[in-house]
Amino acid sequence: MVNGPLGRKLRMGIIGGGALSFIGKVHRTAAQLDLRAELVAGAFSSDPAKSIAAGRQLALNPARVYATWTEMLDAERRLPADKRIDFVTVATPNDTHFQLAGSALAAGFHVVCDKPMTNGIAEAEQLAEQVARSGRVFLLTHNYTGYPQVRLARQLIESGELGEIQAVRVHYLQGWMRSRPPGQVYPRGNWKYEAGRAGVSGTFGDVGSHAYHLARFVTQIRPTRVSATLRAFSPGGALDDYGVAVLRDDRAIITVTASQVTHGRANDLTLEVDGVLGSLVWRQEQPDELTLMRNGRPRELLTRAGGGADAAERFTRLPPGLPEGFIEAFANLYNAAFDKMAGGQSATFPDERDGVEGVRFIHQVVASSAEQGRWLPL
């Protein structure tokens, strides 16, 4: 189905994601990739003039390009049901997510929100309760769970192919902070250095939370305690730029390493899972390949669209050898949320419950590190 059970495109409104925004362009492209949604409204910046200019660049109807997000929500909810937006994408700094997502839900719209869901645990729990009361769909964009081979990994583990899971290692390594002199102002992204805006954590909140969610999603293990060490190696850094966390439950050990100061690493996210019967390896920079290993047997390279596995095939558009990547993974999560918005059968996607667990994880990692790695509950 191109447009799902509704028989029409869903109408998208976006808050943030203006002209210089990397993630805004990703959201706009991903949401519209499969012709199931159309961007019709937006408040693209906290600066009204920049918001209007961004809408003009995107060739939107000027009447639906808003100077502020409050104007957008108020005006859109007053439109007839067959005209108003169906969902709001929140593509803004972390400290605004709670207010913006909550206001969009209160106005009656479904919500797609960048992670982390909020900066505080109490806010995350309050927002999750609001989602439950509203009956609206809430998608949290942990986009790496949208890759076909990540879905295949989850299916293999769920089916018992690896046996009981004993260890999981996730490394998310970047190096871009090494090239940013302290104090220098850049056109975008400076808020990630500000504790009040980014939250209690820097790198672990930014990419470490992705790594943690990926481990949880693929194995479906829910760790119960954590011990962590964070460091700020960048000169004058107020927030962590490197860290390691060890997580436990009654069965498995999970280790998460996150860095944004490792030379030569671009977006190096690697997942390794060890079971009693076998092991899996997946790397985001080679996303179409999943490696299955068993002692005494040749390694099996499971390529995208090559094995006929339902979990992977549902998230695949192109034949083998034609690469799909970051934006397609985003689009896969949008499609899963669209199915649910339209009242149809939906694949699993990160929601408000994952949001609460992610925010709690970030806070407990920071607290553990402040106490010299003391084990804390999750």
Question: Would you list the DSSP string of 60-77?
Answer: --GGGB-SSHHHHHHHHH
Q: Would you say residue 2 has pLDDT above 50?
A: no
Please count the CA atoms within 13 angstroms of the CA of 157 that sit on its side-chain side.
26
Contact 107, 135 (CB under 8 A): no
b/e per residue 167-179 (b: at least 16 CB within 10 A) = ebbbbbbbbebee
Task: For the chain, report the end-to-end CA distance as a whole number of angstroms.
Answer: 40
Residue-level pLDDT at 238: 84
- Answer with the residue of higher pLDDT: 203 or 318: 203
Ordered by where they begin, the domains of the chain are 10-143 (3.40.50.720), 145-316+350-377 (3.30.360.10)
Unique residue bearing structure tokens 């970051």: 326
What are 32-45's pLDDT values in tens digits? 999 999 999 999 99
Reduced to 3 states, what is the DSSP secondary structure of residue 311? helix
Q: Provide the pLDDT confidence category of residue 1 given band limits of 50, 70 and 90.
A: very low
Share above pLDDT 70 across residues of the chain, in percent, rounded to a whole number: 94
Residue-level pLDDT at 307: 57
What are 246-255's pLDDT values in tens digits? 999 998 999 9
Residue-level pLDDT at 308: 56
- The mean pLDDT of the chain is 93
Q: Provide the pLDDT confidence category of residue 314 given band limits of 50, 70 and 90.
A: confident
Give the span between the Cα atoms of 335 and 337, in whole angstroms: 5
Q: Which segments within the chain are labelled E, that is strand?
A: 10-16, 37-43, 87-91, 110-113, 138-140, 165-173, 225-231, 242-248, 253-259, 268-275, 279-283, 289-293, 300-303, 376-377
Q: How many CB atoms lie within 10 A of CB 74?
A: 13
- Token pair, residue 183, equals 């104090």
Helix axes 69-78 and 97-106, enclosed angle (nearest 10): 10
Taking CA atoms, 347 is separated from 191, 205, 220, 221, in Å, by 33, 26, 15, 19
- Answer with the residue of higher pLDDT: 48 or 184: 48
pTM of the model: 0.94
Residue-level pLDDT at 150: 97
Q: Provide the pLDDT confidence category of residue 373 given band limits of 50, 70 and 90.
A: very high
Q: Would you say residue 155 has pLDDT above 90?
A: yes
What are 162-202's pLDDT values in tens digits? 999 999 999 999 999 987 766 665 555 666 667 778 899 99
Mean pLDDT of 331-349: 96
Taking CA atoms, 276 is separated from 46, 252, 295, 302, in Å, by 52, 11, 11, 20
Residue-level pLDDT at 297: 97
Mean pLDDT of 265-276: 98
Q: Provide the pLDDT confidence category of residue 5 given band limits of 50, 70 and 90.
A: low
Residue-level pLDDT at 237: 76
| Full 3-state SS string of 244-298 | EEEEECCCCEEEEEEECCCCCCCCEEEEEEEECCCEEEEECCCCCEEEEECCCCC
